[in-house]
Amino acid sequence: MFDPFLETLHQDIKARGGQVQTISPEFELQRSERNASTIRSWLWDVPGFRRWRVTRLDAGESLQVLNSVAYPSHDLDHPILGIDLLWFGARQKLVAVLDFQPLIQDEGYLKRHFSGLKALNERFPELNGEETMRSFDPHQYFSPWLLFCRGGAEQAHESLPTAFNEFMKCFWDLHDTAKAVPSQLPPDEVDRLQIAYDVYSAERDPAHGLFTSHFGKAWSDKFLHTFLFPAAL
């Protein structure tokens, strides 16, 4: 279900000069010993970004997952890109989270970086994030204008594709604007806040349970701390 989104994401990254990096074979491709599921991951070196990772879990009709996180270079204080798309086939249930994840919740910071996402939030009321996400504090590392949906097939096939494309365009606009003006946060503070993001996320990552159920606890723990959120160690 999410292959078109993955293709769009990778095409965007390549268009921006991204080069895929070599990662451990066990994280690049892992097949489940318990059921017919496969997880693939990519690590990209993209100009203007310290780290950009992408993960795609394919468990056939039962479960589909696409996750990506992009950390700007330390000389840029703009938000972290966060993408989480999950489809539970048996229940025909979509969970989608698209956000520019703020390093701080300061009013001035939000005003500088979030006009584009705020406009998208107004354009897609069915993805306006009013339902609170259970695993996370929406006031820490999530913006007030995240695109969030617990929906079904209609949202997955109609609203989400358009919203995703507009979301990516909005993020690139944000990135280009941020490069053109001086950052308000110094590089060492951006570094500290990105590390804090990894620590926070590693403790609460809702996908960890899914990965464990498909690929076992040992592999999933290693994947969490070595590939997904390595700065949390």
Q: What is the pLDDT of residue 146?
A: 92
Q: What's the confidence (pLDDT) of residue 131?
A: 57
Question: Which residues, given as ranges, of the chain have pLDDT below 70?
Answer: 129-139
Structure tokens at 220: 């999933």
Query: According to the model, what pLDDT value does residue 134 have?
Result: 53
E strand or H helix that includes residue 186: none
Amino acid identity at 162: T
Q: Determine the Cα angle at 45 with ends 39 and 47, to 5°.
A: 140
Q: pLDDT, tens digit, for every residue of 137-179?
A: 666 789 989 999 888 988 889 899 999 999 999 999 999 999 9
pLDDT for residue 167: 98
Euclidean distance between CA atoms 184 and 78, whole angstroms? 9
Q: What is the pLDDT of residue 182?
A: 93
The pLDDT value recorded for residue 139 is 67
77, 149, 71: which is closest to 109 by C-alpha? 77
Q: What is the pTM of this model?
A: 0.94
What was the pLDDT predicted at 132? 52
- Contact (CB, 8 A) for 74 and 121: no
59 closest CA partner among 95, 92, 88, 96: 88
Tokens of 107: 């009013």
- Report the distance separating Cα 225 and Cα 227, nearest Å: 6
List domains and CATH numbers for the chain: 3-232 (3.40.1500.20)
Sign of torsion, CA 103 109 114 118? positive
